[in-house]
Amino acid sequence: MSEEYIVIDNICKSDSISLDGTICDDITGWKITAQLKDECGNCIELATSNVTGGSDDQIIVNSTSPTESNFTIMVPKNQTTCWSDIAYLYTQVETLNMVGGETEKLCLATAQIFFKTLGKNHND
């Protein structure tokens, strides 16, 4: 069985990248981490400011409410210049809920990113 991905295209290599996410819950105090990896082993790790090494320049929580919260993952300009044409974004949240004596960790949907090359996207 093949893994299903959210597909993102029309992103140019070396451009800054902003990817918005929505969670149907209040994420106040949650830790959010993201890894962007390509097929050649390049990797960028990003996190919210409440994670060691994270900052609001990497993942920012835009709004929270009891029923919906929004965040943005930001990849700085020139970080993907020498990457392959396909990358994967893995996002995880650590909630405030305790499960088995540890905080609950949830993996969000994985995104497959097709970088534009020479003005074309992956389905041209």
Query: How does residue 118 score in pLDDT terms, banded at 50, 70 and 90?
Result: low
99 in any annotated domain: yes
Query: What pLDDT, on a 0 to 100 scale, did the predictor assign at position 5?
Result: 77
Backbone angles phi and psi of 9, in degrees to 5:
-135, -175
Q: What is the CATH number of the domain that holds 32?
A: 2.60.40.10
Cα 13 to chain centroid distance, Å, stands at 16
pLDDT tens profile 36-62: 999 999 999 999 999 999 999 999 999
Which one-letter amino acid corresponds to residue 15?
A: D
40-79 as b/e: b if 16+ CB within 10 A: eeeebebbbeebeebeeebbbbeebeeeebebebbbeeeb
DSSP 90: E
Task: Flag whether pLDDT at 78 surpasses 70.
Answer: yes
Query: What pLDDT, on a 0 to 100 scale, did the predictor assign at position 102?
Result: 93
The torsion of the CA quartet 90, 96, 97, 102, rounded to 10 degrees, works out to 80
For the chain, the domain total comes to: 1
Average pLDDT on 92-112 reads 92
Task: Flag whether pLDDT at 123 surpasses 80.
Answer: no
Task: Flag whether pLDDT at 12 surpasses 80.
Answer: yes
Which one-letter amino acid corresponds to residue 123?
A: N
10 in any annotated domain: yes
123 in any annotated domain: no
Query: What pLDDT, on a 0 to 100 scale, did the predictor assign at position 3?
Result: 59
Task: Flag whether pLDDT at 69 surpasses 50.
Answer: yes
124 in any annotated domain: no
121 in any annotated domain: no
pTM of the entire structure?
Answer: 0.86
41 in any annotated domain: yes
Q: Containing domain of residue 103, as a range?
A: 6-116
Q: Do 44 and 53 contact (CB within 8 A), yes or no?
A: no
52 in any annotated domain: yes
